Structure 1
Amino acid sequence: MSYVIGIDLGTSSLKGLLVDKEGNVLITKSSEYELLTPQPKFSEQNPNVWIEALDIVLKEIIEAFPEAASKTEGISFSGQMHSLVLLDENGAPLRNAILWNDVRTSKQCQNIMDKAGQEVIHITKNKALEGFTLPKLLWVKENEPTIWEHAKHFLLPKDYLGFYLTGNKQMEYSDAAGTLLLNVEEKVWSESIAELFELPLSIFPKLVESSEQIGIIKKELAEKFGFTTDIAVFSGGADNACAAVGAGIVEEGMGLASIGTSGVFLSYEPDGQQDYEGKVHYFNHAIKNSFYSMGVTLSAGYSLNWFKNTFAADKSYDQLLSNMDNVAIGSDGLLFTPYIMGERTPYTDSQIRGSFIGMDTRHTLDNFARAVVEGITFSLNDSKILMEENANKQFTRIVSVGGGAKNSDWLQIQADVFNAPVVNLTVEQGPGLGAAMIAAVGLSWFPTMNECVDKFVHYKEEFLPNPENVKKYKKVYEIYKGVYAATKETTHKLHALND
């Protein structure tokens, strides 16, 4: 039996999966690292901690499964998007990586949109937001001129791992699409955007496909890890693209509802012709010549985590949600908006804050718990509705992953709110599995990603929308949509008091 390794480089840890040709995950290892917040709004990491974590994980995989030393054929990556790694002429990091959740670049984002907003949206399909890479490059250029003077290359986190293993520098399209520098349709760096913001094209990496082989692991590294054969290294994909691959989102009509700390509603797009005018994110997929659209709820699972820790710290999540099914749709007139850390889609508002609306003496902890779950689901539905209205989409299946896929009542709520069949996965491995699948396709284990999905991805349960519930939720959702406008001015003023 032959194996591949999928590496998922996250914000707090690096995870490695050893997977065989049948799609079985044989070994999972992980290594954690620190997030650096040197001052308010800053979020950074030393790229060396990713290297140390990768070394640990690969060694531990071989120690736990010795056969992997001689029978692993390929390795690929999933990685946190947008985070800037600046390198000098020798390929050494010039500073800590500026991460996707760093928000120091509001000024740069405003300048981008003022100077070339419509052109940026037309070319990159996305608006300038603090998370993207272009504003980070401009921040370094404006605030750290000495570092900028020595900058010869930039990469994203998983591409830095690929460079470490092979000595070759490149970036694949699904991650490049999140830089705000890629012409998404034409799959080339935008020379006009680079020129507008005076960025030298010499610092831009070569562009490759996700399943393209970028080299083999250097012999000295292979020996250090314990490999006894050459290991092909494949470029990999952005974390959301890999999560979509690992959930089987590879054909039109499929959507992904991911409820982690943040929430994502993601849709497969068969070509690059769709124009959402920046209302949702639009990126190249990890599957050649395909794309995906994505809306983001900033505080999805985090809203439930905050609520539990604040009001029901003595309860487990299962206990907190155990009576949800006994509460009426709409939580007996109680609404929650999950804007506790601002919101991304559809409002792009960092100052909006969350609300409970409609509280009265009838409401118990169970009402509040269901209201939080419904509010998170409504927020994801905002993204789904944008996709339906702007692209005439019809969702035939939505795959639910993360916290929202672990509770059957919540899965039914999703089916009823989305008005579409919702399924969960038999085994949920996240972006790491998508990375392994990219390696499997790169090695020609499968002719196409769809055939790899058929072998690797399996669904557990299906929840169908209940027509009566759908009608009730449509009425509640219409009321929910009015809360943002009704509370915006008030919450902005409150936020300003503490800013």
Structure 2
Amino acid sequence: MLLLGIDLGTSSIKVSVVDAQTKKCIAATQYPDDHENKILSVLPGWAEQAPDMWWDQVALAIRKLTAEASFNARDIGAIGIAYQMHGLVVVDKAGRAIRNAIIWCDSRAVDIGDEAFAEIGAQQALEHLLNSPGNFTASKWAWVKAHEPETYLQAHKIMLPGDYIALRLTGNATTSISALSEGVFWDFKNNCIAESILQHFGFDETVFPEIRPLFGVHGTLDPKIAAQLGLQPGIPVSYKAGDQPNNALSLNVLKPGEVAATAGTSGVIYAVSDQLVYDPASRVNTFAHVNYTPEAPRTGVLLCINGTGILNRWVKEHFGHGLTYQQMNTLGKAVSPGSNGLKILPFGNGAERILHNKILGAQFIDLDFNAHGRSHVFRASQEGIACAFRYGLDIIRENGMRPSVIRAGQANMFLSELFTEIFVDVTQVPVELYESDGSVGAALGAGIGAGVFTSTDEAFSGLKTIKTVEPRASSAYEDYYQEWKRLVNEQLAKESPQQTNN
């Protein structure tokens, strides 16, 4: 049997076909493959994408794979979906998206979430939701209610991005506890949709899709869609998960104490716990992991940095002048650690949770026109991203988790030997690199959900370490990081003097 995995990213769609017997990817494609999808930002802090653009690109990617005839599409027996987290998709009774999706890095609802946190009560919210509503999906839906009443009244269901793709594939609107938790709609103490959120915002519970197990059938492939995609009708969509829980699954990070990382458009460290843990300031966030059950809770403590790969891409576009990422890395590697004093704050992609949902903006600090060139910018941007990871990792440590090793797929910024070395030297935590990506993880997740595999251990039995990168004994980056941190806290103090404890 073959398994199809879809990874709905911010920049592109990735689709892979995996042989269930060997657990190996036998075909993969990406769409678009010549550019990255744009984020629509009508006003500062806003971030939207069109759900129908996602669907069109999913369809194009699948058709491209099935047309290549490197495998028999009739052998595909299950479909899994991974998707960008925290987005809001609104559909009418016909299942049509009636506005652009408000995506993960949108900041328009921060004040709404902060007000809800205060009025519900910090302790009540944290003990039951494990998070402040912040700028998560619940607050975005409240923004629509307040500012787009016609859309609010026209809405039949609201959902996460992956739920929408599954809806287009099957005609069924479903969700999961994990998805609801990432929208801050789930009450972990009472194991139900959060009544405190419904009451505070005045939401109707009927707007949520049917809750089904994350590993389980969310519908079967519609015959008309199957013909359009070159697939067999009736294939089950048997797995849906947010990209970060899915990345952890892809790396077989399922047990308490295990930690995964990714560095795509955003950067994430994701630590698994068996406790309903929360950060008092909600700077890192806790959601239901893919293997969560109320009886045996497995939560994912998620550190997210919005400005990661998007900074690297911006630097490439504006300083690279035709260079590849590898060429940029080669030039950056020729520069000494610390980039001759140049420091970059990578916070130019919306409100950052680790900074109390403040928007500091990206900043170049101590730039010297006589001392610095683009090679310094190439290195300093990656150093700034690594420092942001360290800043967030220290918050995770404050909350009782101290990772001894971090697993990451050799993808996105972890393709860069330079970035990986900087990351481990700044954080002083070893990184194990694996040949793994989100679409392959989604395909294997589909196999688990469809009963092709009897366990996650069976599904990921072929996972092997490519290499381990150890921190160097040198403390070259400690002074650099402490100065970088001082600059961040100095900027935060200008915004809100009481929030400079980290």
Shorter-chain TM band: 0.7 to 0.9
Would the alpha carbon gap of residues 125 and 30 (structure 1) be closer, same or farther in structure 2, given more than 3 Å must change?
same
Distance 1:425 1:65 in 2: 28
Distance 1:328 1:35 in 2: 34
Match of 1:24 in 2: 24
Match of 2:137 in 1: 133
Match of 1:495 in 2: none
Match of 2:441 in 1: 434
Distance 2:269 2:97 in 1: 34
Match of 1:55 in 2: 59
1:461 aligns with 2:467: yes
1:193 aligns with 2:197: yes
Q: Which runs of 5+ in 1 are unaligned?
A: 493-499
Q: Equivalent residue of 1:137, what SS?
A: helix
Match of 2:360 in 1: 351
Q: Note if contact 1:133-1:179 (Cα within 8 Å) is conserved in structure 2.
A: yes
Q: Equivalent residue of 1:213, what SS?
A: coil
The Cα shift of 1:323 comes to 5.1
Q: Note if contact 1:246-1:433 (Cα within 8 Å) is conserved in structure 2.
A: yes
The Cα shift of 1:389 comes to 2.1
Q: Equivalent residue of 2:276, what SS?
A: coil
Would the alpha carbon gap of residues 111 and 326 (structure 1) be closer, same or farther in structure 2, given more than 3 Å must change?
same
Would the alpha carbon gap of residues 164 and 353 (structure 1) be closer, same or farther in structure 2, given more than 3 Å must change?
closer
1:405 aligns with 2:414: yes
TM-score by length of 1: 0.87
The Cα shift of 1:195 comes to 1.5
1:5 aligns with 2:4: yes
The Cα shift of 1:64 comes to 1.9
1:485 to 478, 485, 489: 489
Distance 1:92 1:332 in 2: 53
The Cα shift of 1:333 comes to 4.2
Distance 1:375 1:396 in 2: 21
Letter in 2 for 1:395: S
Q: Note if contact 1:343-1:350 (Cα within 8 Å) is conserved in structure 2.
A: yes
The Cα shift of 1:332 comes to 4.4
1:31-62 deviations in Å (ceiling 9; x for gaps): 44775555554443443333333333333332
TM-score by length of 2: 0.86
Letter in 1 for 2:472: N
1:451 aligns with 2:458: yes
The Cα shift of 1:159 comes to 0.9
Match of 2:127 in 1: 122
Q: Equivalent residue of 1:202, what SS?
A: helix
Distance 1:30 1:321 in 2: 23
The Cα shift of 1:199 comes to 0.7
Identity of aligned residues (%): 24
Match of 1:281 in 2: 285
Q: Note if contact 1:416-1:473 (Cα within 8 Å) is conserved in structure 2.
A: yes
Q: Equivalent residue of 1:215, what SS?
A: coil
The Cα shift of 1:181 comes to 1.2
Distance 2:99 2:109 in 1: 17
The Cα shift of 1:116 comes to 2.1
Would the alpha carbon gap of residues 185 and 434 (structure 1) be closer, same or farther in structure 2, given more than 3 Å must change?
farther
Residues 65-464 of structure 1: matches in 2 within 5 Å? 65=69, 67-118=71-122, 119-130=124-135, 132-184=136-188, 187-228=191-232, 230-269=234-273, 271-277=274-280, 278-289=282-293, 290-313=298-321, 315-322=323-330, 324-325=332-333, 327-341=335-349, 344-347=352-355, 348-357=357-366, 365-399=374-408, 401-426=410-435, 428-429=436-437, 431-455=438-462, 457-464=463-470
Q: Which runs of 5+ in 2 are unaligned?
A: 497-502
Q: Note if contact 2:47-2:102 (Cα within 8 Å) is conserved in structure 1.
A: yes
